[in-house]
């Protein structure tokens, strides 16, 4: 049985167990590690596990797992990983690192992390009469609604995520309420967590792009259950370019767990 030192971080309430895995103490191919650590009753408890590993070309590699052991890109997790890399002394206040969907840049200003996201090509944005599907590193279903505070996000989100169209790959489901031209509120059901989380970075990015395609204006301020995020980008020929996700990321505590 190995004893693992971990750190707990949160980015607008999306919480993560973060491990310095530069010595490759943990086997990144073993998804049961994420299942154990993320379990809120039998483990530490979180919306995901992040391993920080060495990389030959970039400052570090961030390896992300959902609590069910599946892998995808995580926007809030990336912002937390950047703060952790700064804490470890791997970086100062700027970085270029590798994540699940490719290379990202980030800039740290106190507790705020500005994270570059991949451009979202027009081909990854599908517009339907009632909703959008957009891939911002992870796949998102975006639906505009009113009074989202009264929604049963877990039930309605699960209905879409487990529908015939999405059951196999899964999809994250975002309910968006327009507040003004540059402000929206968002609640998200996350695949891999299979529940509502307090915030989702790739999700609010997808929602901000959908909002601008509906007549909104960038930068878009986003209110989530866990706090405020901001997304800025330019729309060029239907594609979102120069996309940045901006918001806080904080260490909550440090601990040790026996696996």
Ligand X SMILES: N[C@@H](CCC[C@H](N)C(=O)O)C(=O)O
Q: Which residue numbers belong to the known binding site for substrate? A: 14, 66, 75-76, 172, 190-191, 201-202
Nearest to 11 by CA among 106, 153, 132, 124: 106
Site string for ligand X, 51-90 (x = CB under 6 A): ---------------x---x-x-xxxx-------------
202 in Cβ contact with 172 (< 8 Å)? yes
Q: Residue 11: in which H helix or E strand, if any? A: strand 3-11
113 in Cβ contact with 82 (< 8 Å)? yes
Q: What are 243's strand-pairing partners? A: 117
| β-strands 49-53, 61-65 pairing | antiparallel
Contact positions with ligand X (CB under 6 A) in 190-209: 190-193, 200-203
Site string for ligand X, 145-184 (x = CB under 6 A): ---------------------------x------------
Rounded to whole angstroms, the Cα distance separating 98 from 76 reads: 15
Site string for ligand X, 115-144 (x = CB under 6 A): -----------------------x------
- Residues engaged in binding ligand X (CB under 6 A): 14, 47, 66, 70, 72, 74-77, 138, 172, 190-193, 200-203
Catalytic positions, written as ranges:
74, 200
């Amino acid at each position: 049985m190995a004893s693992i030192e971990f750190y707990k971080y949160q980015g607008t309430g999306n919480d993560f167990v973060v491990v310095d895995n530069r010595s490759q103490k943990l086997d990144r191919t073993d998804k049961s590690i994420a299942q154990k650590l993320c379990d809120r009753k039998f483990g530490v408890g979180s919306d995901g596990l992040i391993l920080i590993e060495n990389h030959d070309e970039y400052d570090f590699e961030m390896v992300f797992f959902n609590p069910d052991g599946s892998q995808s890109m995580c926007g809030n997790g990336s912002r937390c990983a950047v703060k952790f890399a700064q804490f470890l002394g791997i970086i100062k206040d700027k970085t270029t690192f590798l994540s699940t969907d490719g290379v990202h840049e980030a800039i740290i200003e106190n507790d705020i992390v500005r994270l570059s996201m991949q451009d979202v090509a027009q081909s990854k944005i599908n517009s339907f009469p009632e909703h959008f599907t957009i891939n911002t590193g992870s796949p998102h279903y975006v639906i505009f609604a009113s009074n989202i505070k009264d929604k049963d996000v877990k039930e309605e989100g699960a209905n879409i995520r487990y529908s015939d169209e999405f059951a196999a790959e899964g999809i994250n489901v975002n309910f968006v309420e327009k507040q003004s031209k540059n402000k929206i509120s968002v609640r998200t059901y996350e695949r891999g967590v299979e529940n509502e989380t307090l915030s989702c970075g790739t999700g609010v990015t997808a929602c901000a792009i959908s909002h601008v395609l509906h007549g909104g204006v960038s930068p878009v301020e986003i209110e989530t259950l866990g706090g405020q995020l901001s997304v800025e980008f330019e729309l060029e020929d239907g594609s979102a370019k120069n996309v940045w996700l901006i918001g806080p990321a904080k260490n909550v505590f440090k601990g040790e767990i026996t696996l």
